[in-house]
Each structure stands twice: as C-alpha cells, then as structure tokens.
Amino acid sequence: MKTLEKEITVSKNDLDDLNHVNNVVYIKWVQEIAKNHWKSLVSIEVFKNYYWVLLEHQIKYLSPAFLNDKIRLKTYIENTEGVKSSRIVEVYNKNNNKLLVTSKTIWCLLSTKTNRPLRINDEIKKAFK
C-alpha cells in the first residue's frame, strides 16, 4: 500500500468560532491529499484519461487541532473493487502523534472522454499497491 503524507500548520483561516480547526477544513484537507496522492501515483496519461468522483464520506473527529498546531496527513487506498475505491485519510498532531481525525471516502472512477464509470484496471490497481 503506497501512502502519501503531508504536513500542514494550522492557520487562523482554518479556525471556527470555537478556535479549533473547522470541520469543513478537515474535509478540504481530505480532498486535497486524495487528489495529490492520485497525481503522485499515476502517469500523466492516466491522470488525463481518468478522474474520481466522491460517492461517500465518513469522518470521525477524535480530538481538536488549534492555531499553529503542526498537522500530519496520511492517506492510502484501502480497497479497490469494480468502479469504486475506498481511501483512508488519517490526521495527526505532528508534535505528539495523536490521531485527531480519521476519514474513509468511497470514490468512483470515471473516464474523461465519456464521463461514465469505468472498472478500475490493473494499471491503476498496481499504482495503489
């Protein structure tokens, strides 16, 4: 399983009225690291011919993050089957390695030519392993 990790420092723009990271910001981070992971694993040709749409999003908020916290995002593909792929994203406080958020998203692979779902081919499956 190939992972991608990214570090973020919480900024004032990430905060909500309670002065911790807004729930919507976590979702944005999940989407961004998913896209970056996909781009890092496949060729330019594959990237141009296929794209993913989000079908389902499950997220568990375990502990808050605050201004200037160093955050480590980690993502990997849990499973691929048919036209769908499940992705895990974990959000940690980098300083103490405490798990703050877990996310599981289900994505559907589409063709850029037809905008229709496609079975995940062996080339893409191998890229995820």
Quote the tokens at residue 124. 């893409």
What pLDDT score does 1 carry? 83
As a whole-number percent, the residues of the chain with pLDDT over 90 amount to 98
pLDDT digits (tens, 9 = 90+) for 25-41: 999 999 999 999 999 99
The stretch 106-123 carries a mean pLDDT of 97
- Is 90 exceeded by the pLDDT of residue 18? yes
Is residue 72 exposed (0-12), middle (13-18) or buried (19+ Cβ within 10 Å)? middle
Domains in the chain, ordered, with CATH? 4-128 (3.10.129.10)
Strand, helix or coil at 123?
Answer: helix
What pLDDT score does 49 carry? 97
What pLDDT score does 123 carry? 93
Residue 69 DSSP label? -
Contact in structure between 64 and 98 (CB atoms under 8 Å): no
